[in-house]
Structure 1
């Protein structure tokens, strides 16, 4: 196959790239932006899909963000590919802050107070409990995170929707103009061509 890799990546390499980009984060972010802009759907469907992915990434459902984003996007009639791309809001850099904010919001809603734990401390506690503790032992931490994920997810989804909608709308409008200009150059108007032809 053309442009196929000489050595196919191992399963471990695929898992690593899924959570950490092969190149720099800035390059990966630019690539992600281009992927979103070039989707073939209405700006609303793309923006809704991306917003659903952003919302799903705020939940503590590690390993199920794609499925959560697809389910919400299906209900909201959003673009599924955009929903998958929207889950990139949650990544190894942002997860410590997302989990700390959702945990503190949930604590405030449930108990009217928040802990003094920082983002890294909450991140380490959650990761440690996720792999080493039972669900019953982990639930006191998961419960406030689920509750806090709703307001934070709605804020991120709203911001993402308007940002993506405007970006896609502008991109599609410019692309349409470019295509129309190319068509006019390749296929000039027949009436104009007859006026320009002295022998017509």
Structure 2
């Protein structure tokens, strides 16, 4: 393979790269943006795919974000690759904020101001013993409910921003290609005139 590493990355290196990129977060974000803008699909399909991925990132169903995003993208005519890229909004840096916001929003919607209902939950113990039935009511249910308004809001924001960025990128690219073709035609005309005059 042309660009393969000399020394394959071990488990520690791959885990570290998932949490903290080798170069920088800004460079990784630029890579994802360019990857999205260069997809061969309509601006609506790309933006709808990104919006589906963003919405899926707000759901508490870890491990199913790609499937949720792909299903939503298929329903609204979005690009499947863009939906997979859109799930990158949910990452180790943003998940604590997303989970906290969806939990509090869901509790506010379900229980109003009366948030003190029952004894405090022991999340670590529940996860250790996989007590899903006890975990559903105090955590997963409010997060699922809170994910709806927050996910829809951020999905719409990403939809409009992505659609505008895709349209602008393609328009600038079209102008660049037209200018390049015009210059090339001018050079060819100049070469032809030079050849006939000599």
Specify if TM > 0.5: yes
Q: Cα distance, 1:185 vs. partner? A: 2.2
Match of 2:161 among 156, 160, 163: 163
2:91 partner SS: coil
For 1:166 and 1:111, locate their aligned partners in 2 and report how far apart those are by CA, in whole Å.
38
For 1:62 and 1:114, locate their aligned partners in 2 and report how far apart those are by CA, in whole Å.
28
Counting only pairs closer than 5 Å after superposition, residues 73-92 of structure 1 correspond to structure 2 as 73-92=73-92
For 2:124 and 2:34, locate their aligned partners in 1 and report how far apart those are by CA, in whole Å.
32
Query: TM-score normalised to the size of structure 1?
Result: 0.82
Q: Answer yes or no: is 1:63 the counterpart of 2:57.
A: no
Unaligned runs of 5+ in 2: 117-121
Q: Is the Cα–Cα contact under 8 Å of residues 51 and 83 in structure 1 kept in the other structure?
A: yes
Q: Cα distance, 1:131 vs. partner? A: 5.1
Q: Is the Cα–Cα contact under 8 Å of residues 60 and 146 in structure 1 kept in the other structure?
A: yes
Q: Cα distance, 1:5 vs. partner? A: 1.5
Residue 133 of structure 1 corresponds to 130
For 1:172 and 1:28, locate their aligned partners in 2 and report how far apart those are by CA, in whole Å.
22
Q: Which moved more, 1:6-15 or 1:61-70?
A: 6-15
Q: Is the Cα–Cα contact under 8 Å of residues 55 and 153 in structure 1 kept in the other structure?
A: yes
Unaligned runs of 5+ in 1: 117-124
Residue 173 of structure 2 corresponds to 175
Q: CA RMSD in A?
A: 2.6
Q: Cα distance, 1:16 vs. partner? A: 4.5
Q: Deviations over 1:161-182 (max 9, x none)?
A: 0111111111111011111222
1:183 partner SS: helix
